[in-house]
Amino acid sequence: MHLPLRKCYHVIKLGIVLVLILTILTLFEQWRGGKRSTRAQELEMVQDEFEKQILEDEARIIPGLGEGGVAAHLVGEAKRLGEESEKALAINVYLSDRIAYNRTLRDYRNPACTRVLYDAELPSASVIIIFHNEPYSVVVRTIWSVVNSARRDQPWYRHANFVDRASGKTMNLGYPGQDPTSPFVYLKEIILVDDNSTLPELKGKLSHYIRTRLPPDLIRVLRLPDRVGLTKARLAGARYAVGDVLVFLDAHCEGQPDWLRPMLQRIKDSPKSVVVPIIDVIESGNFYYSVQDPEVFQVARCFHRQGLMRARMTGARAARGDVLIFLDAHCEAGADWLRPLLQRIRHKRDAVLTPLIDVVDQTTFQLDAAEHFQVGGFTFMGHFTWIEVPEREKKRRGSDIAPTWSPTMAGGLFAMNRAYYWELGAYDEQMAGWGGENLEMSFRIWQCGGTLETIPCSRVGHVFRSFHPYGLPAHTDTHGINTARMAEVWMDDYAELFYLHRPDLRNNPKIGDVTHRRILREKLQCKSFQWYLDHVYKEKFVPVRDVYGFGRFTNPSSGLCLDTLQREGEASPLGVYPCHDTLQATQYLSLSLSGELRDEEKCAELQYSRRNPDEGGEGEGRKVLMVTCHEKDRGQKWRYLSSKQLQHVESQLCLEAGPQPGADVAARPCRRDAPAQRWRIDYSEDN
């Protein structure tokens, strides 16, 4: 009895200890597990919240709205809310939130593009999209557009086969190193660079959207800890990228079918080509996707019948409108085709205009848009402009869809071989905020041995905004300062023409140090700006090149100078103003060798006078208007007489100073004894 009792006691003691340990263990486990699950729960709750918001977003979308790229309209209260959002954000965000993230677009490409075969083996692309406080739905639509238009399973995806040299076998592998089953044959990655946005929906919600709605392992989001501006944000994206080619996009773009391959193919064939797509317009108010130049309208017609002259005359006699428009009876007009014509005729009564004529196929009624796109130019004020493709370039490129040389690029949408990007000096990392980097890179490309080309089969739409919805660092003029940095490094003596517009920036310490960029220019043995003007952009009017005289045009008897008086607008009268001691932009005019009296973009011509079309009235004379130079022989030709008079060749009238500062000049019958008709030019062959 004794022993078993003792044993029993021990057994019980042991049991109790064991039970205690077990209880403690389970309690601990429970405690730990509980803790873990609250964390998971919290995370889940946040995700659920994002999910809920995203589902709400998706429920808001109106099927079919804006589909095909047509203008989207809302009515009533929704319309008002839309307009309000556009006023505040420069984009109709309320509307954007209601248009499908992956809407389709009408295909505006030249039909010849659909017949091009691209190599099966193309360089891989890293698409870099930077953003600061861009509207969420617009960013998501941009991402979808890139993803969709780079899929191999799209109907348009056809390619030339890749022949393996070793085995002689025909293969379709995509590019080397890529999983051949991946649907994104040449899209390596999309890198989103968040330039320190403050909008909450661009943080967790956007990440959640990407994680749950978009293909895995394709999209990275880089969150910058500080706001660095667009140049440095792009640099950050480029450092991160691993694809063969860098493709930069603004965060409000939609690509046309197959927009990426034509650029990759060109870079493969010519690695030092930096390429841009044709940039189409997505209207900020209604998301209408239209071809690049909104002024270009399209009237389509199929075939021309003969012998219609008499019928037209009869019609013209009966017409009562201000303007006669003749159309064949088998035309289809593009959007807003009429107003550009009427607008032009209002400014220039004697203009006879033809629209851009597209072709409608007579059997299929397929509309083939006449190829029209513009390339990049610049002004000495440091701004990007659109220019027509020069005639000599049309000859050189050989075909409407061939790579077309462009003197500059807009800056936001381009593709470039990644190694070449770094070799060529990437970006000037001391450029802040917005602006300037586009001309800097354009000049650098050309001057240092590359080419800048528009690839016509690649078209991407961009939402053009009328103002920046985001603030820029401390309201500094980053565009001016960045442009001055560019001018200091790349423009040689021509930098003076920039400083003429910005005397405040001359020798301004705000510009900062550019030594390292000058060293880069030296190292790459780049050519001069003069070379650029002479070889790349011959058509550019340079106020000191190919001119008979330039500078101030002084009327000695009054001490007044010709002055554009900072008047903006399509056609603004030329006036006079007391001469400035130093040359300033509004008084900087040239008399070109072809006889134009002009500033950088506008030429003096006479206003049409209804009363007396050929003679200047004895009274007020005819007004002299500054209008866009047309480089045709008519109307904009002047000559400088030995009597120091400026004579308008066509009308034989002479330029006469206005009576007081700020007055308009006039063209009047030439009188040798009229002191108001005498002009002295600062720099000319005579002086």
Provide the binding-site residues for ligand LR7, judged by CB under 6 A: 130-132, 134, 195, 229-230, 233, 250-251, 279, 384, 410-413, 433-435, 437-438, 462, 468, 470
Closer of 223 and 639 to ligand LR7 (Cβ): 223
Closer of 282 and 591 to Mn ion (Cβ): 282
Residue 124 CB partners (closer than 8 Å, separation 6+)? 175, 177, 178, 186, 187, 188, 243, 244, 245
Task: State the minimum distance, in angstroms, from the CB of residue 230 to Mn ion.
Answer: 9
Distance CA(21)–CA(272), nearest Å, equals 73
Beta 298-301 vs 331-333: how paired, if at all?
Answer: antiparallel
The phi and psi torsions of 542 (rounded to 5 degrees) equal -110, 120
Measured in whole angstroms, the distance separating CA 437 from the mean position of its chain's CA atoms is 13
Residue 192's binding partner, choosing from ligand LR7, Mn ion, none, with beta-carbon cut-off 5 to 8 A by kind? Answer: none
Task: State the minimum distance, in angstroms, from the CB of residue 386 to ligand LR7.
Answer: 7
Task: State the minimum distance, in angstroms, from the CB of residue 249 to Mn ion.
Answer: 9
Residue 435's binding partner, choosing from ligand LR7, Mn ion, none, with beta-carbon cut-off 5 to 8 A by kind? Answer: ligand LR7
Residue 128's binding partner, choosing from ligand LR7, Mn ion, none, with beta-carbon cut-off 5 to 8 A by kind? Answer: none
Distance CA(26)–CA(16), nearest Å, equals 15
Distance CA(616)–CA(648), nearest Å, equals 11
Residue nearest to ligand LR7 (CB): 412
Task: State the minimum distance, in angstroms, from the CB of residue 469 to ligand LR7.
Answer: 8
Closer of 195 and 605 to Mn ion (Cβ): 195
Is residue 614 within 8 A of residue 628, CB to CB? The reply is: no
Residue 537's binding partner, choosing from Mn ion, ligand LR7, none, with beta-carbon cut-off 5 to 8 A by kind? Answer: none
Q: Give how many residues touch Mn ion by CB under 5 A.
A: 1
Task: State the minimum distance, in angstroms, from the CB of residue 686 to ligand LR7.
Answer: 41
Closer of 250 and 358 to Mn ion (Cβ): 250
Helix axes 204-213 and 2-60, enclosed angle (nearest 10):
90
Which residues in 236-265 contact Mn ion (CB under 5 A)?
250
Residue 108's binding partner, choosing from ligand LR7, Mn ion, none, with beta-carbon cut-off 5 to 8 A by kind? Answer: none
Q: Phi/psi zone of residue 622: left (φ > 0), alpha (ψ -120 to 50 degrees), beta? A: beta
Closer of 253 and 624 to Mn ion (Cβ): 253
Closer of 344 and 479 to ligand LR7 (Cβ): 479
Distance CA(265)–CA(288), nearest Å, equals 29
Is residue 195 within 8 A of residue 224, CB to CB? The reply is: yes
* Length of the chain (residues): 687
Closer of 205 and 268 to ligand LR7 (Cβ): 205
Return the residue matching tokens 């959640």: 208
The sign one gets for the Cα dihedral 652, 655, 659, 662 is positive
Residue nearest to Mn ion (CB): 250
Residue 416's binding partner, choosing from Mn ion, ligand LR7, none, with beta-carbon cut-off 5 to 8 A by kind? Answer: none
Task: State the minimum distance, in angstroms, from the CB of residue 410 to Mn ion.
Answer: 9
Beta 273-283 vs 451-464: how paired, if at all?
Answer: parallel
Task: State the minimum distance, in angstroms, from the CB of residue 463 to ligand LR7.
Answer: 8
Residue 414's binding partner, choosing from Mn ion, ligand LR7, none, with beta-carbon cut-off 5 to 8 A by kind? Answer: none
Nearest to 562 by CA among 518, 602, 620: 602
Residue 301 CB partners (closer than 8 Å, separation 6+)? 327, 328, 330, 331, 332, 357, 358, 359, 360
Task: State the minimum distance, in angstroms, from the CB of residue 522 to ligand LR7.
Answer: 26
Residue 596's binding partner, choosing from ligand LR7, Mn ion, none, with beta-carbon cut-off 5 to 8 A by kind? Answer: none
Task: State the minimum distance, in angstroms, from the CB of residue 250 to Mn ion.
Answer: 4
What residue ranges bind Mn ion (CB under 5 A)?
250
